[in-house]
Structures are given as structure tokens and as C-alpha cells.
Amino acid sequence: LEFCVEDSSDVKVTFEDQRLVFSCKNADGVELYNEINLYARINSKDSREKRSDRSITCFMRKWKEKVAWPRITKENIKPAWLSVDFDNWRDWEGDEELERAALEQYAEMLEKVTDKSPPPAM
């Protein structure tokens, strides 16, 4: 999750098993607060946040990895302030096919490099 808040201060992010609590102050000193009940459980001990000049990004590790969530929130309604960042989108389904194709391409390249043909004549 990314909270777009320029020049934030007093940033506090609390990761709980199935909830994220976020608060900070913006450049004007206005306090912002948000609680998000997550769709499923996360590993709160392995989740982190990173603050930059323009935003606070929360990296949450799912409890069950490689299991797609139909949405980020527990509620089946999309808050108006929430949107998908397609620049960071990763489609978990189909990753195995991509990994297999990359592995096959690597094996072909390795086969060409390790070809035991005689050296070129000079």
C-alpha cells in the first residue's frame, strides 16, 4: 500500500495480523489517520514501511504466500481513496510459466556456451 503524503512527519504504521493502522502529519500539520481491515492475515513481523518525500509505502507479507486476494480490504466495497498502482502490479498467476520459459532460455544459452566443438582454425 502506498499513502501519497508529501513532506510527511510523525509517521506511525502498525501492522497487525489482519489490520493496518496508519497515521502521520502532512506538510500543513494536518493529522491523517487510516485503519484498514485486511482481506486476510499478514505476517506482521515481516512487514515494513518506507517513507520518502512524497509517500509512505507499506510492504506487507501475506501469511499464505502465492495465494491471490480478490481485494485488499476485508469489506466487499472499494473505498473511494483506494486505487490499484499498475506500475507495481504483479500477476501471481502465470509466474510459473514465465519462470519455466526463462529457465529454458537460460539452459539453451548455457548449452551454446558449453558446446565442446573444436576451436576455430587460425
The domain that holds 59 is classified in CATH as 2.60.40.790
Residues whose CB is less than 8 angstroms from the CB of residue 28 and which lie 6 or more positions away in sequence, other chains included: none
Domain of residue 60, residue span: 2-89
Mean pLDDT of the chain: 84
Residue 98 inside a domain? The answer is: no
Give the count of domains, the chain. Answer: 1
The amino acid present at 100, given as its one-letter code, is: R
Judge whether 116 lies within some domain: no
In angstroms, rounded to a whole number, what is the distance separating the alpha carbons of residues 82 and 3? 10
Pick 83 or 13 by higher pLDDT.
13
- pLDDT at residue number 62: 92
In a domain, 43, yes or no: yes
Is the pLDDT assigned to residue 24 strictly greater than 80? Answer: yes
- Confidence band for 97, pLDDT divided at 50, 70 and 90: low
**What is the per-residue pLDDT for 113?**
63
Q: Can you give the pLDDT at residue 115? A: 55
Determine, yes or no, domain membership for 11: yes
Averaged pLDDT, 48-70: 90
- 32 domain residue, yes or no: yes
In a domain, 42, yes or no: yes
Q: Which residues of 19-57 are buried (b: 16+ CB within 10 A; e: fewer)?
A: ebebbbeeeeeeeeeeebebbeebebeebebeeeeeebb
pLDDT at 74: 93
Q: Predicted confidence band at 10 (pLDDT cuts at 50, 70, 90)?
A: very high
Q: What pLDDT, on the 0 to 100 scale, is given for residue 93?
A: 57
In a domain, 53, yes or no: yes
Instruction: For residue 117, tell me if it sits in a domain.
Output: no
Cell numbers linked to 106: 537460460
Q: Burial of 118 by CB count in 10 Å (0-12 exposed, 13-18 middle, 19+ buried)? A: exposed
